[in-house]
Amino acid sequence: MQYQPPVNDIKFILFDVLGADQLHSFEKYADATPDIISAVIEEAGKLAAEVLQPVNKIGDQQGCRYDPDTHAVTTPDGFKEAYKQFTEGGWASLDAPVEFGGQGLPHTLKFIVDEMVCSANLSLGMYPGLTHGAISALYAHGSDELKKTYLSQLVSGEWTGTMCLTEPQCGTDLGMIRTRATPRADGSYGIEGTKIWITGGEHDLVDNIVHLVLAKLPGAPDSTKGISLFVVPKVLPHSGERNPVYCGGLEHKMGIKGSATAVINFEDAQGWMVGEPNDGMRAMFTMMNEARLMVGMQGLGVAEMAYQESLGFALERLQGRSLTGPKNADGPADPIIVHPDVRRMLMRQKVLNEGMRALALFTGHQLDLSVAHPDEAVRQAGDDLVQLLTPVVKAFLTDEGFNNANMGLQVLGGAGFTTDWPLEQLVRDGRIPRIYEGTNGIQAMDLVGRKLGLKGGRLIGLLFDTIKSFLAAHGDAPHHAELASALQSLEEATTWIATNGMQDPEQAGAAATPYLRLTALTVIAYLWSRMAAVAEQQLAAGEGHTDMLEGKLVSARYYFEKLLPESRWLLADIVGGKDSVMALTAEQW
């Protein structure tokens, strides 16, 4: 089926619940009127459905092709044309800096476009996605000369960018990297080494690829404190000469086959330092944090497309009769959507998707407040919440994105297991976002090991205060008691980790993944209560789309009755401690 952009749901969350229709009141976003935002959302949906989705399946069937003689990579048929329409339409520059050709629109719009692009064609969306992170890293940490040399072409999409971290011997433990940067007399550096799993490392969509590469200077500390960041272009901008940066092959993957995941060899290639010596991790984290939010939207995009496909199938597939009597009396059987177990699967998909979208857009809105609001305290609060929620968005949306795709396949039964239907591709494509840009276990450790204690616990304290303020101001909010109970569980879990994790880091490590999930479920509960409250208000006033609003109330009830109770056993898991996790000896495995 053709992708149907969830425009009404997006606008409901963005405007009616979050109040993002007021972003144009900030000087930075003066052009982002509700009409402009609505037009962008609607046009993005058309692009995704009419340009990107039609080449998705062929991307999976053909994959990218590597020529070992020329080291060139060819993308699937139709990708170049679709990418050209994407960039010529200005979609690559949506929230990029105005001074380098960007449109300077709110970051939340970028989140929305990312979801739509990834619903329609996750593989193709990878190419501009990583480029955006490279733009942010160079803009935040590059010299004026580097910005002048690279940013305009990256913003326009004329060039693409990569993030080169991983090596054959190290992934998360980047202190073990072996790529070296040797100073040259002209102020540049000779980059020597091999990077693996490089998204968009080599392809034919553009003429130049700008690699951001982590490497070590001579004599640098043998740890992450000795890592520097370098910009290493495939083609040298000033001379047009080919830099000795070559693709050594492509990874053979279970999914996202239209995305070129390359081995890249730097053979004394010329590069320039970004930021300060031995400060590469700080600069790279600008790119990584942005990429993690983008990957969260990949999970949501996959989940939405899987829901649409499985819902469409359930409405048409005739099989069996309703337990309460025929609903399609003139046909040989009823559509399978009448069966409670099928409904259970579809409701889980629908309710989680809408809750995850609210979580993502809430985070995006906080990001916009952090850079545009005139009040410094509001900007700081926005930044605190974005820092806290980034690992939550990345991990929870990709975990549930995959789970919802897998559940969508189950709705289709045997048909879902065939390549005649798109669900099996969505399951395969949706598996990798849980792994790259830091596995979801790493995200959980980031939340527990870094974010909880950051600034004396200010970040998590702000989240608690935000939810408590809502509860105090809205005593009649839908599902008030259930939300208050979930918040109490999260507070208890936080106290337990703060007490026991300080004494034994393994206690925090064992609790990290259930704690991240508990955080996500609690924040989504807060947002579902807000969404239900707005739905009640609009129904009472005779405003809005009645079916959608009544559906919101049912969906909220489902969330609080069927999904949020998981928070109780997550708390039990956390306070149960590490013993059963760590107890087995080597011989007992």
Q: Where are the domains of the chain?
A: 7-67+76-153, 160-278, 452-578
- Per-residue DSSP letter, 5: -
User: Are 7-67+76-153 and 160-278 the same fold in CATH?
Assistant: no
Q: What are the E-state strand segments in 81-134?
A: none
Residue 183: what residue type?
A: P
Q: Are strands 180-183 and 160-164 parallel, antiparallel or unpaired?
A: unpaired
Q: Exposed, middle or buried: residue 111 (CB in 10 Å: 0-12, 13-18, 19+)?
A: buried
Asked if residues 390 and 289 have their Cβ atoms less than 8 Å apart, the reply is: yes
The CATH homologous superfamily to which domain 7-67+76-153 belongs is: Acyl-CoA dehydrogenase/oxidase, N-terminal domain (1.10.540.10)
Into which CATH architecture does domain 160-278 fall? Beta Barrel (2.40)
Global pTM reads 0.97
Known catalytic residues are 437
pLDDT for the residue numbered 491: 98
Range 529-539 burial, b when 16+ CB lie within 10 A, else e: bbbbbbbbebe
Whole-angstrom Cα distance, residue 40 to residue 46?
Answer: 10
CA 105 → CA 95, 109, 139, 515, 532, distances in Å? 5, 7, 16, 34, 29
Whole-angstrom Cα distance, residue 16 to residue 539?
Answer: 13
Backbone phi, psi, residue 148, to 5°: -65, -35
Q: How far is CA 358 from the centre of its chain?
A: 13
Take residue 509 and report the two structure tokens written for it: 């490590």
Whole-angstrom Cα distance, residue 28 to residue 23?
Answer: 9
Take residue 85 and report the two structure tokens written for it: 């329409």
Place of tokens 């409250």: 533
The SS3 call for residue 371 is helix
Whole-angstrom Cα distance, residue 498 to residue 510?
Answer: 13
Among candidate residues 30, 375, 42, 40, the one with its CA nearest the CA of residue 22 = 30
pLDDT for the residue numbered 183: 98
Q: Are strands 261-274 and 245-250 parallel, antiparallel or unpaired?
A: antiparallel
Q: pLDDT tens digits for 234-251?
A: 999 999 999 999 999 999
Asked if residues 408 and 306 have their Cβ atoms less than 8 Å apart, the reply is: yes
Whole-angstrom Cα distance, residue 345 to residue 400?
Answer: 13
Q: pLDDT tens digits for 486-495?
A: 999 999 999 9
Contacts for 17-23: CB closer than 8 Å, 24+ residues apart: 17/358, 17/527, 17/530, 17/531, 17/534, 18/361, 18/362, 18/365, 20/106, 20/108, 20/361, 20/365, 20/368, 23/106, 23/108, 23/368, 23/372
| Contacts of residue 209, Cβ cutoff 8 Å, sequence gap at least 6 | 159, 160, 161, 162, 200, 201, 202, 203, 233, 234
Asked if residues 169 and 153 have their Cβ atoms less than 8 Å apart, the reply is: no
| Contacts of residue 385, Cβ cutoff 8 Å, sequence gap at least 6 | 363, 366, 459, 462, 463, 466
Taken in order 304, 310, 311, 312, the sign of the CA dihedral is positive
Residues of the chain short of pLDDT 50, as ranges, are none
Q: Are strands 209-215 and 189-199 parallel, antiparallel or unpaired?
A: unpaired
Asked if residues 109 and 92 have their Cβ atoms less than 8 Å apart, the reply is: no
pLDDT for the residue numbered 3: 98
Whole-angstrom Cα distance, residue 510 to residue 307?
Answer: 32
Whole-angstrom Cα distance, residue 243 to residue 248?
Answer: 15
- Per-residue DSSP letter, 327: S
